[in-house]
Amino acid sequence: MKKETVMPRILPDETDLYALTDSRLSLGRPLEYVAEELLRSGVRILQYREKKFPASKMLEECRVLRELTNKYGACFIVDDHVDIAMLSGADGVHVGQDDLPVWEVRKLVGPDMIIGLSTHSPEQAKKAVKAGADYIGVGPIFPTRTKEDVADPVGLEYLEWVAANIKLPFVAIGGIKAANIGDVRKRGGYCAALVSELVGSEDIAAKITELRELCS
């Protein structure tokens, strides 16, 4: 009998970089290529975030990423789409303030799937803890153009507040690049989510090395 694969439950406090996909910024390269470059370079959390694709295409791509993340022992998160996260066998789903509430998502996905929740204020962070989120997104720290209808930048002050007051794992996100990731780290953001800085790099492996050196 074939042994069932145990999926990793890696949370943001256990890693340094949290990568998100974005086909618009990937220099025309296939998703599989970009994802494998990220994973080969040691990224341990990969989130699928595509806002404009048909559900069937998203599911197809998520199943490809599930295979790749299994290959590299990485955690696979799907943005927003609880159904696609479940159908693709993802490790987790990340939702926003205007998506299904965390406690309703939990009813659908069961006790084992990771649930992340975006937060933009201390009040939202406190509510995320009470709602049962496994981790929170903190941001956007800086202005960003990689997401439509994005909240106003919360700045490093909110990041620092979360680091001092919230016990949940958290990931800093929003406009983080090589030029400012050191400041994010100094203010308590030990896990940083990046989109364009990673998938838009001509040499993804070299960019990841650079980012880690800036955080050391």
Domains of the chain, first to last: 12-215 (3.20.20.70)
Q: Is the peptide bond before 30 cis (omega within 30 degrees of 0)?
A: no
Q: Residue 13 gets which letter from DSSP?
A: G
According to the model, what pLDDT value does residue 3 have? 43
Q: What is the mean pLDDT of the chain?
A: 94
Judged by phi (left if over 0) then psi (alpha if -120 to 50, else beta), residue 63 lies in alpha
| Per annotation, catalytic residue among 26, 41, 44, 49 | 49
According to the model, what pLDDT value does residue 8 have? 65
Q: Read off the pLDDT of residues 141-152 as tens digits, 9 standing for 90 and up.
A: 999 877 666 678
According to the model, what pLDDT value does residue 216 have? 85
| Per annotation, catalytic residue among 29, 63, 127, 147 | 147
> Which residue ranges in the chain fall short of pLDDT 50?
1-4
User: Does residue 106 have an active-site annotation?
Assistant: no
| Per annotation, catalytic residue among 118, 187, 196, 201 | 118
**Number of other residues whose CB lies within 10 A of the CB of residue 42:** 15
User: Does residue 147 have an active-site annotation?
Assistant: yes
User: Does residue 49 have an active-site annotation?
Assistant: yes
According to the model, what pLDDT value does residue 46 have? 98
According to the model, what pLDDT value does residue 145 have? 72
Q: What is the dihedral of CA 82, 88, 89, 93, to 10 degrees?
A: -30
